[in-house]
Amino acid sequence: MAGEGKEPPGFGVTAIGRYFIVVSLIPSTVFAAYLLLLLRTGTWSAAGVDLDRAFRNLDLRALASLSVLSIALAIAIHPLQFALIQALEGYWGVSGLGRRLASAGIMRHRRRARALLTRQLDDAMPDDTVGAYDAAIDEPPARSPMAAPDVVARLWSSREAARVGAAYPHRFEDVMPTRFGNVLRRYETIAGHMYGLESITAVTRVMQVAAPRDVEYVQNQRMQMELAARTCVLGLLAAAVTAVLMWTEGWYLLLTLVPYLVAFAAYRGAVVLAHEYGTALAVLIELNRFALYERLRLPRPSSLAAERRSATQLIEILRLDSGGVVNRYDRAQLRYAHPQPARSDSTTPGATATTTPSDPS
């Protein structure tokens, strides 16, 4: 396959360093700078808050403190990135409070998904009506009833409901407590599904054998999504710190809105980027799934139906969960397609060794 023998993008030391700088160090530096300036305003002091004081007398000591705090914060939070992503998805544990919050969020999003589906179906128009509308779109409403405002509103409402509803999983039992979690769950359930592959189980293996450019694209989308998620979490933390420090400072308490709006915008951006990341994963599986079969020494399927049958058995094995399914391994019909070993042509004295090409099937 292309790029074999080279280090795939996203797995080397350089990529790890870039990931740490973009996802951890930059947001931590901004957060530390905001916290340092907030403390320098003189909050809780007898003189009261003075915003100009935050920018006066910025010396090397302050910059050194900022650098140390930024690096320490980045190193401390970096191992928690996966946990932060899960928290934004809605995985809040099995405690009583976590279950209640998750249940409330799931029911809220189920109602919203059902309302969007109802709106899409109620406002949808027959295909022939839509065709007539498209043909008359440039005509004035007075000459074309198909371009009347109510028809335009119905068509727009139906299409917009379909677009927003595309952020939810196909099944209600897969709905998550948060919008971010619903987008990721949607792509977890549909990426590779048409080929019989389970994305959560297969994608790690596919990334090991995929073309470097495909891996790099997925890593870039993931990096942007996790940067937005980290910014959201640190923005909420900055808002909480601001609220505590400015609680008794009157109108200065409104400063809490600044980091909160940053967190809100970052969260909405993370939702959009989750769509891009999920699409990238789906494309990665589609374009590189046969490379996985080759590395596992499995024959390439001859049809989509055969591929789905093979993939269903393969995923059962790749889940790394043998509890209660060991007997299924014995019933699996997967057959290996090993390349033929090299053989020596010794029929002619002094003949050199030759090799036969491997069987592509």
Mean pLDDT across the chain, nearest whole number?
A: 81
Query: 316 is written with which tokens?
Result: 């059962």
Q: What angle do CA 154, 172, 124 make, to 5 degrees?
A: 15
Residues recorded for the chain: 361
In 3-state terms, what secondary structure has residue 174?
Answer: helix
Q: Is the pLDDT of residue 357 over 50?
A: no
In 3-state terms, what secondary structure has residue 343?
Answer: strand
Q: Are 36 and 66 in contact (CB under 8 A)?
A: yes
Confidence at 336, pLDDT banded by 50, 70, 90: confident
In 3-state terms, what secondary structure has residue 354?
Answer: strand
255-282 mean pLDDT: 95
Q: Which region, left, alpha or beta, applies to residue 78 given φ > 0 means left and ψ of -120 to 50 means alpha? A: alpha
Q: How do residues 63-102 score in pLDDT, each as one tens digit? A: 888 888 889 989 998 899 999 999 999 999 999 999 999 9
Q: What is the distance between the alpha carbons of residues 91 and 260, in angstroms, rounded to a whole number?
A: 22
Q: How do residues 222-244 score in pLDDT, each as one tens digit? A: 999 999 999 999 999 999 999 99
**Range in 8-17, 169-178, 194-203, 266-275 with the lowest mean pLDDT:** 8-17
Q: Which residues partner with 55 through β-bridges?
A: none
